[in-house]
């Protein structure tokens, strides 16, 4: 715990970091939600990550109307580097991230600041988000349906970042919920000298990478069931259809970082179990990336076989317990373990059609 971290000013300045890349379709809605916050002691640090569309024009329009906006244009380097760049210019006691595609409710900052005033020694607030599909909104209760203050028990959430264990596996789709840098308000002192990985680091899950570094030093974290963040899923189809074989290696590099963290901090066996479970449950990412790509049937079949026959994945399955998995997930991971590719492809195509309702 950082000594003296809890002497908040009466109305602390809140820094909101917004990385932007080709977000002209949704950016106005995002910035309008920030400018319209009922809590006014904010600074909005917008970093344009080399957009080639009209994002910069939109940023300029909002900056002319709102003095709270600090705007920067950098060479395209990825969202992580854009956030790292913003760290140089934030001056708030508290900080939060909002993606340019998303938006927050007008009282989001006000209520989060009040949590820091209400709860003794609070270091971070976590809140659920609403997934916004086409005409469909679904709340995602990241950590359940009850408000919990982990006072002196921040290690519970730190372990959760490594992966799911026991009954937590009843919802494999929740594996990455806590990873997000959004849906949180952090005490800025915990962000010092901690950065998102660079694009050249060749690592997947940059939000998870970052939060592992931050949560390592946190003891007092509040989870509230109030929702303020709207996670835009309408642009899912804009994701590239190209499958890159090195995506699996990027995850492998992330897992290596996590393994080294366990060793460095002499963490208990439950962290090792959680990480092994993450390695298996992350297979859903590989399968989805392959099945949603523009590859042909044979290429997809070969791609799945190459992934599922990797030695590290086979090794992880050996100590993976299928207990607590719902029936449809047991079937999915059993097919992965046995490398029954054709049936897996059929199941995956059906699952994709109903993905909105898996959580």
123: closest CA among 37, 12, 215, 226? 215
Pairing of strands 148-151, 136-140: unpaired
84: closest CA among 213, 173, 273, 224? 213
What is the pLDDT, as a whole number, of residue 235? Answer: 67
Measured distance CA(30)–CA(105) in Å, rounded: 10
What is the pLDDT, as a whole number, of residue 236? Answer: 54
What is the pLDDT, as a whole number, of residue 174? Answer: 92
Inter-residue contact 16 to 96 (CB < 8 Å) = yes
Q: Is the per-residue pLDDT at 80 higher than 80? A: yes
What is the pLDDT, as a whole number, of residue 2? Answer: 43
pLDDT in tens, 171-183: 999 999 999 999 9
pTM, two decimals, is 0.91
What is the pLDDT, as a whole number, of residue 212? Answer: 95
| Averaged confidence pLDDT in the chain | 91
201: closest CA among 265, 249, 146? 249
Given 3-state DSSP classes, what are the helix, strand and coil percentages for the chain, each rounded to the nearest 5?
45, 15, 35
What is the pLDDT, as a whole number, of residue 4? Answer: 42
What is the pLDDT, as a whole number, of residue 198? Answer: 77
User: What's the pLDDT band for 237 if we cut at 50, 70, 90?
Assistant: very low
Average pLDDT over residues 58-78: 97
pLDDT in tens, 161-216: 999 999 999 999 999 999 999 999 999 998 888 888 876 666 788 999 999 999 99
What is the pLDDT, as a whole number, of residue 1? Answer: 40
- What three-state secondary structure class fits 228? coil
Q: Tell which CATH classification among 3.65.10.10, 3.40.50.720, 3.90.550.10, 3.50.50.60 matches the domain 14-237.
A: 3.90.550.10
Q: Where are the domains of the chain?
A: 14-237, 240-357
pLDDT in tens, 19-66: 999 999 999 999 999 999 999 999 999 999 999 999 999 999 999 999
Q: Is the per-residue pLDDT at 273 higher than 80? A: yes
Question: How big is the CA angle at 343 (ends 337 and 349), to the nearest 5 degrees?
Answer: 110
């Amino acid at each position: 715990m950082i000594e003296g971290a809890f002497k908040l000013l009466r109305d602390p300045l809140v820094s909101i970091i917004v990385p932007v890349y080709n977000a002209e379709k949704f950016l106005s809605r995002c910035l309008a939600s920030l400018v319209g916050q009922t809590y006014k002691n904010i600074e909005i640090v917008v970093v344009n990550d080399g957009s080639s569309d009209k994002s910069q024009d939109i940023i300029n329009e909002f900056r002319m109307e709102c003095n709270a906006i600090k705007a920067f244009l950098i060479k395209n380097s990825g969202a992580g580097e854009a956030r790292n760049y913003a760290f140089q210019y934030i001056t708030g006691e508290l900080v939060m991230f909002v993606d340019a595609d998303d938006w927050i409710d007008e009282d989001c900052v006000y209520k989060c600041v009040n949590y820091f005033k209400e709860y003794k020694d609070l270091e971070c607030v976590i809140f659920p988000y609403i997934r916004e599909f086409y005409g469909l909104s679904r709340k995602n209760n990241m950590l359940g349906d009850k408000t919990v203050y982990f006072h002196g028990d921040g290690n519970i959430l730190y372990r959760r970042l490594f992966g799911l264990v026991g009954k937590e596996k009843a919802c494999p789709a929740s594996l990455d919920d806590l990873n997000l840098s959004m849906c949180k308000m952090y005490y800025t002192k915990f962000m010092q000298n901690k950065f998102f990985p660079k694009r050249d680091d060749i690592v997947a899950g940059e939000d998870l990478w970052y939060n592992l570094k931050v949560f390592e030093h946190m003891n007092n974290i509040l989870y509230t069931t109030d929702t303020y963040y709207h996670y835009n899923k309408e642009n899912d189809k804009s994701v590239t259809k190209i499958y890159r074989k090195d995506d699996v290696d990027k995850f492998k590099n992330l897992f290596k970082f996590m393994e080294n963290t366990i060793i460095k901090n002499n963490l208990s066996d439950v962290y090792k179990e959680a990480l092994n479970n993450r390695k298996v449950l992350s297979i859903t990412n590989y399968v989805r990336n392959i099945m949603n790509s523009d590859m042909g049937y044979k290429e997809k079949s070969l791609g799945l076989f190459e992934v599922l026959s990797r030695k590290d994945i086979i090794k992880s399955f050996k100590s993976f317990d299928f207990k607590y998995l719902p029936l449809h997930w047991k079937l999915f991971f059993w097919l992965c373990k046995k490398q029954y590719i054709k049936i897996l492809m059929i199941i995956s195509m059906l699952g994709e059609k109903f993905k909105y309702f898996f959580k």
